[in-house]
Amino acid sequence: MEPSKEYVFSHKGFYFGANIATPEYIDSLETFEIRDSDIFIATYPKSGTVWTQNILSLIFHEGHRNGTENIDIMERIPWLEYNVQKKDYSAFPSPRLFATHLPYYLTPRDLRNKRARVIYVTRNPKDVLVSYFHFSKIVATLEEVSDFNLFVERFLAGKVLASSWLDHVIGWHSHAEDFNILFLSYEEMKKDLRGAVLKICNFVGKTLSENEVESVVRQATFENMRKDPRANYENLAEYLRGQNKGHFLRKGTVGDWKNMMTVAQSERVDEVLKERMKTLPIKFIWDINDEM
């Protein structure tokens, strides 16, 4: 079943959110002017994008770290392809920070020439699927599919915003050499947040003091982000359905899929993804007790 045109449009083999982007704008990104100092977070939805945005913002903005500035994460690190407020990114001071769900082949040309830095975050697809299912219920700009079984099929067929999880992840991994890229996983961030923060600092060339690192880690935990209106979508209430304000940070765990999927559904996901997943140089973590 095709996704509803009310919510997505297909352009160059990828589903974009309707009303928040246009094909012309997406095409214009090919020649988007990249600065060497730019940093992009690239993800398939529900893989830990906002988490990584928060970490990056905490690393770069002292005012965020010490609580003197009350600027939303989305303002700090805007969405490249969903520039709803039509901001002039060329006027942004360096280093500019962006988030994107673009597949590798639709990113700005210079990014594919190794200019700027990209942090690509993956998460195991069963947790992505379950998180996406819940997210579609609360976000007004996404099509709600209330039957979970149907959603599983939609997800596996890539009939959702951002298309196929597998194509996205394999695409970025198999073209890693075109980019200046750091791969991280949601699960490693969950198991060792401090280690992930240090990896990011190292990759972006930022040296923080022990106290500053400690402050970033503390403010990037699930519990603390949940309380932080700058990070939990509280100010984006206009995009949420019903009384879901602040529910963006849902569970924040590894392995929640086990609470949601039947054995048959889990096997169905394995069956569809398994072969091509083997080509990925990633060891997926399905349970918090799995070894890294």
Catalytic residue annotation: 101
In the 8-state DSSP scheme, what is residue 2?
P
Q: Does 108 bind ligand A3P (CB under 6 A)?
A: no
Q: How far is the CB of 44 from ligand A3P (least distance, A)?
A: 8
- Three-state SS for 30-77 is HHCCCCCCCEEEEECCCCCHHHHHHHHHHHHCHHHHCCCCCCCHHHHC
Whichever of 201 and 225 has its CB closer to ligand A3P, that residue is 225
Q: Sheet containing 97-100: which strands, arranged edge to edge?
A: 97-100, 39-43, 117-122, 181-185
> Smallest distance, Å, CB 168 to ligand A3P?
12
What is the dihedral sign for C-alpha 41, 42, 47, 49?
positive
Chain residue whose CB lies nearest ligand A3P: 252
Measured from the CB atom, the residue of 222 and 286 that comes closer to ligand A3P is: 222
| Residue 225 touches ligand A3P, criterion: CB under 6 A | yes
Give min distance, CB of 156 to ligand A3P, in A: 18
- Please say which residue, 106 or 139, places its beta carbon nearer to ligand A3P: 139
Nearest in space to 40 (alpha carbons), one of 160, 244, 204, 173: 204
51 near ligand A3P, rule: CB under 6 A: yes
Q: Applying CB under 6 A, which part among 45-53, 61-69, 177-185, 266-274 lies near ligand A3P? A: 45-53
By CB under 6 A, tell whether 184 contacts ligand A3P.
no
Residue 125 within binding range of ligand A3P, rule CB under 6 A? no
Name the pairing type of β-strands 117-122 and 39-43: parallel
Residues 253-272 that bind ligand A3P (CB under 6 A): 256
Phi first, then psi: give them for residue 268, nearest 5 degrees: -65, -40
Which residues, numbered 185-204, are part of the site for ligand A3P (CB under 6 A)?
190
Burial class (CB in 10 A: 0-12, 13-18, 19+), 205: exposed
Q: Does 158 bind ligand A3P (CB under 6 A)?
A: no
3-class SS of residue 106: helix
Euclidean distance between CA atoms 136 and 89, whole angstroms? 29
Task: Give the residue among 64, 62, 83 at the shortest CA–CA distance from 72.
Answer: 64
Report if residue 138 touches ligand A3P, rule: CB under 6 A: no
Half-sphere exposure of 167 (CA within 13 A, CB side): 17
Task: Give the nearest distance from C-beta 65 to ligand A3P in angstroms.
Answer: 15
> For ligand A3P, which residue of 42, 111, 220, 261 counts as binding (CB under 6 A)?
220
Residues near ligand A3P, by CB under 6 A? 43, 45-51, 127, 131, 134, 190, 220-222, 225, 249-252, 256
